[in-house]
């Protein structure tokens, strides 16, 4: 019994000792939970970024929505919450549709490369925005939030779904 307790104690000590410490100059973070909806339904797989209004900051805040549309904002992708302040919220989500014989690509890497050289023109991928692109740019997004010392929990309505083909930049 003592042996198992010792192992358990060593495990917890090593886990706690290996955790990365927050940077000393990082401001206090407050919990931020956003629920994304589109036509009243939760929006899964959308990327959210917060852009601070009043000042520049070296801390990025954002997250990815889950199946229930909920995004728990993190700072630098690993610290829960965001600093107090006013933000513009940007949200983006794209989908890719494929056409052509994608299922014919050989599993062997060398054979796949040869096959792709010979058949590339038969394969097509088209990317679409499914959220109005205005929400993906901090200059055009009208989504605004205020993070206070109490944190924030709110729902953001992204309107109707869209299907706008993304243009490739050359």
Please give the residue that has the higher pLDDT: either 10 or 29: 29
Rg of the chain over all Cα atoms, to the nearest angstrom = 22
DSSP classification of residue 3: H
Position 161 pLDDT exceeds 80: yes
- Structure confidence at residue 14 as a pLDDT band (50, 70, 90): very low
Q: What residue ranges do the domains of the chain occupy?
A: 26-93+132-162, 94-129
What are the C-alpha distances in Å from 52 to residues 6, 13, 22, 86? 47, 37, 20, 6
Q: Which residue has the higher pLDDT, 2 or 160?
A: 160
For residue 57, what pLDDT is reported? 67
The predicted model gives 159-163 an average pLDDT of 91
Query: Which 3 state secondary structure label does DSSP give 155?
Result: strand
CATH for 26-93+132-162? Answer: 2.60.40.10
pLDDT value at 165 more than 60: yes
More confident residue, 11 or 22: 22
What is the pLDDT at residue 134? 94
Residue 22 DSSP code:
P
For residue 48 the two structure tokens come to 């959210």
Least confident of 7-16, 66-75, 129-138: 7-16
Q: Of residues 13 and 82, which shows the higher confidence score? A: 82
Digit-coded pLDDT (tens) for 60-119: 899 999 999 999 999 988 999 999 999 999 999 999 999 999 999 999 999 999 999 999
Residue-wise pLDDT for 98-108, tens only, equals 999 999 999 99
Mean pLDDT over the full length of the chain: 86
């Amino acid at each position: 019994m003592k042996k198992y307790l010792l192992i358990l104690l060593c495990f917890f000590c090593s886990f706690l000792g290996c955790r990365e410490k927050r940077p000393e100059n990082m401001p206090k973070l407050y919990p931020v939970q956003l629920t994304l909806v589109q036509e009243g339904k939760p929006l899964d797989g959308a990327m959210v970024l917060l852009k601070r209004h009043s000042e520049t900051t070296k801390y990025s805040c954002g997250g990815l929505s889950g199946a229930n549309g909920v995004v728990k904002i993190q700072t630098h992708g690993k610290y829960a919450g965001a600093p107090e302040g006013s933000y513009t919220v940007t949200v983006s989500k794209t989908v890719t549709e494929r056409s052509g014989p994608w299922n014919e690509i050989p599993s062997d890497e060398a054979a796949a490369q040869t096959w792709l050289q010979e058949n590339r023109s038969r394969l097509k991928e088209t990317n679409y925005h499914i959220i109005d692109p205005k929400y993906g740019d901090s200059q055009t997004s009208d989504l605004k939030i205020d993070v206070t010392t109490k944190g924030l929990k709110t729902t953001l309505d992204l309107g109707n779904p869209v299907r706008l083909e993304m243009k490739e930049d050359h």
